């Protein structure tokens, strides 16, 4: 219940963990997006196996299909269709070389949103896929919703550290972004 904790990095080593997923129907399956790639555990975290290289910052299950997982690392969007065993880069419509985060919703499982930040950590763009992450269309590239002002008129931001995106669970066209 979270009252006690044990270190569990057998097979993973000492890496930075940027995000973790617990399989929606099997809590023994865990995925960790780390500074050394995606690691998968099928025994509740007792042991880990590396499934992909890269410095992963975000992972998300496709709502309603636990075989499909989306991920981002080093400005690259990837997708797995076999529960994280293998990964394929998707570049149709997404800028690379940017910090990326993912947003999905059970209200429209085929929708995948990706928000990108510029090298100055300001807002680069919001991208939307309506076909499960196969292809993306840019929805917005301004104003700089990640900057320090309240109206998006400034430059820069804190996306190197704080970058978040979520989609409403009942309205797939309502998204929430933070940085």
- List of residues 6+ apart from 21 with CB closer than 8 A: 30, 31, 32, 59, 60, 61, 69
Tell whether the model's pLDDT for residue 50 goes beyond 90: yes
- What whole-number distance in Å separates Cα of residue 9 and Cα of residue 155? 39
| pLDDT tens digits, 141-152 | 899 988 888 788
Query: b or e along 61-75 (b: 16 or more beta carbons within 10 Å of the residue's beta carbon)?
Result: bbbeeeebbbbbbeb
Among 41, 44, 40, 39, CA closest to 28: 44
- What whole-number distance in Å separates Cα of residue 94 and Cα of residue 91? 6
> Structure pTM?
0.92
Mean pLDDT score of the chain, rounded to an integer? Answer: 91
């Amino acid at each position: 219940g979270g009252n006690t904790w044990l270190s569990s990095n057998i097979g993973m080593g000492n890496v930075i963990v940027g995000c973790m997923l617990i399989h929606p129907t099997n809590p023994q399956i865990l995925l960790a997006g780390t500074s050394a790639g995606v690691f998968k555990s099928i025994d509740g975290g007792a042991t880990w196996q590396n499934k992909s290289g890269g410095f992963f910052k975000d992972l998300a299950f496709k709502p309603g299909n636990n075989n499909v997982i989306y991920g981002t690392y080093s400005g690259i969007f990837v997708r797995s269709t076999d529960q994280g065993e293998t990964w394929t880069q998707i570049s149709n419509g997404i800028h690379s070389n940017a910090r990326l985060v993912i947003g999905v919703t059970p209200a429209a499982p085929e929708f995948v949103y990706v928000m990108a930040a510029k090298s100055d950590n300001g807002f680069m763009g919001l991208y939307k896929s309506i076909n499960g992450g196969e292809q993306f269309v840019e929805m917005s590239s301004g104003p700089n919703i990640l900057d320090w002002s309240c109206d998006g008129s400034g430059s820069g931001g804190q996306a190197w550290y704080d970058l978040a995106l979520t989609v409403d669970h009942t309205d797939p066209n309502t998204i929430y972004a933070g940085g």
